[in-house]
Structure 1
Amino acid sequence: MTFDNWQEHLQQFGTTESIPEMDYPRARSARQVPSHVRRIIAREQQKFPADAA
């Protein structure tokens, strides 16, 4: 969701606290993701139409 001006966002949602980043490692490429996780993601991806992205 995007807003052209911040005032519109504040009127609709009020002030929000930023979410702190978690201290977990991030996968920088597919090869760093375990194969069983890649299979789960691929299976879930089949539930959505290709043009949804």
Structure 2
Amino acid sequence: MLRWALIFLVVALIAAVLGFGGIAGSAAGIAKIIFGIFVILLIISIVMNMVRGKR
């Protein structure tokens, strides 16, 4: 999932350099959403791992 966020970030940066404002804004927005989901899932995974503990 982090890979997709980075891909959309690169697309947004390239579109911004080339002057495509709408595409750059959309790709940046998608990258932010995917990155946010990734961070939330990472935190949930860490908490679940700590709660479960070592067996």
Tell whether the structures are fold-level matches, with TM greater than 0.5: no
Q: Which structure is higher in helix share?
A: 2
RCO higher in structure (CA 8 A, sep ≥6): 2
Larger radius of gyration between Structure 1 and Structure 2: 1
TM-score normalised over the length of structure 1: 0.32
